[in-house]
Each structure stands twice: as C-alpha cells, then as structure tokens.
Amino acid sequence: MSWSAEEERNQLREQDCLFCKIVHGEMPSTELYSDEQCMAFNDINPVANVHVLIVPRDHVTHLTAATEQHEQLMGHMLRVGARVAKQIGISDNGYRLAINQGVDAGQIVDHLHIHVLGGGQLDNLGTPRGSM
C-alpha cells in the first residue's frame, strides 16, 4: 500500500505539539506568511512591538535536533524572517532574529522556531538573569 503525501507529512508532526497544531490549521494564529516549508505568525505574548515566529511545517524539536537534512530549511527560514520583516515594515530600522535553545534560553515550545523581534529599540542580547 502506498502512502499519500498527506499521510507522509503527518509522520513529521507530533500529536500534542502546539506549533504542529497551528501549522496544520487546528489552532488559530495571525498568519503573516506561509509556504510549503514554513509559516510565520504573530507571537501570542509579544516581548517587542513586533514579535513574529517563523515555524517549520515539519516537527523539529530543537536547534540541537536539526541535522544536515535541515540545512536548506533553516536557511530558508532565515530568509523568510528577512522577507516578513520587510513585509511588515521593520526592515529599514532593524530587527533581530533569535532562536531559544533549551532551558537556559527559555525555550518553552519544543518545536523549532525563529523569533523576529523589532518595531523599536531592543534590549541588550543575552544578559544573564540577575547579573544587572
């Protein structure tokens, strides 16, 4: 029996994953961009004036779980970040792309994503908590 493309794609999702549910249209989001590899939507709890998430359609848990086969996807997601920044008008003044990897970085959703932050001056990057 041959698998349909849809069945094959479903192998790459995780049943209880929040971002899998969003990319499969089972949870609402404010979509800004979408293609066959990834999707961009507004963060539900923004920490900057503009806070967008770039999320792969396939379930990849962490940056550390990404392999050689994800290199094209990750490069694509960076370019989508730049494209969305331009689309929403924050490109000229500048913005930041960030990936939280693991506990110390505050990763709470175990589905790889790139944060796009901008729309105003951003805080310093990477200051350890309690050091200031």
Residues forming contacts to ligand 5GP in the complex (CB under 6 A) are 18, 29, 41-45, 100, 106-109
Smallest gap from residue 106 Cβ to ligand 5GP (A): 5
Half-sphere exposure of 24 (CA within 13 A, CB side): 18
59, 111, 113, 115: the catalytic one is 113
How many CB atoms within 10 Å of residue 71? 10
Applying CB under 5 A, the residues found at the interface with Zn ion are 14, 17, 19-20, 59, 111
* Residue 11 per-residue DSSP state: T
Q: Tell the smallest beta-carbon distance from residue 130 to Zn ion (Å).
A: 32
* Cβ contacts of 68 within 8 Å, gap of 6 or more: none
Minimum distance from residue 20 beta carbon to ligand 5GP (Å): 12
Cβ closest to Zn ion, residue 97 vs residue 109:
109
Q: Which residues pair with 114 in a beta bridge?
A: 54
Residue 20 binds which entry of Zn ion, ligand 5GP, none, CB below 5-8 Å type-dependent: Zn ion
**Among Zn ion, ligand 5GP, none, residue 14 binds (CB under 5-8 Å by kind):** Zn ion
Q: What is the Cα–Cα distance from 41 to 23, expressed in whole angstroms?
A: 10
Nearest-CA neighbor of 63 among 53, 54, 74, 52? 74
113 is catalytic: yes
Q: Which residues are catalytic?
A: 113
